Amino acid sequence: MLFRSPWLWLSLGLGVWLAHRRRTPGPARMGLALALVYVLAMTVGARAARASIVERWAAVAGGPPPAVMVGPLPVTPLSRNIVLDAGDHYETGQFTWQPRAVRFDVVNTPRNDTDPAVERARTDPGIQAFLVWSRFPYWTVTHTSRGTAVTVGDMRFVGQVPRGVRFTRQVLVAPDGRVTPLP
Instruction: Give the DSSP letter string of 48-106.
Output: HHHHHHHHHHHHHHSS--SEEEEEEETTEEEEEEEEEE-SSEEEEEEEEETTEEEEE-S
* The predicted structure's pLDDT at residue 75: 81
Mean pLDDT of all residues belonging to the chain: 90
Calculate ∠ Cα 122-125-126, nearest 5°: 90
Which residues make Cβ contacts (< 8 Å) with residue 182, sequence separation at least 6? 149, 170, 171, 172
| Residues shown for the chain | 183
In one-letter notation, the amino acid at residue 84 is: L
* pLDDT value at 162 more than 70: no
Q: How many other C-beta atoms lie within 10 A of the C-beta of residue 50? A: 16
- Residue 183 is predicted with a pLDDT of 84
Q: Is the pLDDT of residue 142 over 50?
A: yes
Read off the pLDDT of residues 95-105 as tens digits, 9 standing for 90 and up.
Answer: 999 899 999 99
pLDDT confidence bin for 2, thresholds 50/70/90: very low
Query: Lowest-confidence range among 7-11, 52-56, 84-88, 116-120?
Result: 7-11
Count of CB atoms situated within 10 Å of the CB of 152: 24
Q: Which range among 2-11, 44-53, 79-88 shows the weakest confidence by mean pLDDT?
A: 2-11
Residue 119: name the closest of 136, 131, 108 by CA.
131
Q: What percent of the chain has pLDDT over 90?
A: 71
Task: Provide the angle, in degrees to the nearest 10, between the axes of the packed helices 26-61 and 6-22.
Answer: 170
pLDDT of residue 165: 60
Total-model pTM = 0.79
Q: What is the pLDDT at residue 158?
A: 82
| Cβ proximity of 169 and 127 under 8 Å | yes
Contact between 40 and 108 (Cβ < 8 Å)? no
Q: What is the pLDDT of residue 74?
A: 76
pLDDT band at 161 (very low <50, low <70, confident <90, very high): low
Q: Residue 159: pLDDT above 80?
A: no
104 close to 91: Cβ distance less than 8 angstroms: yes
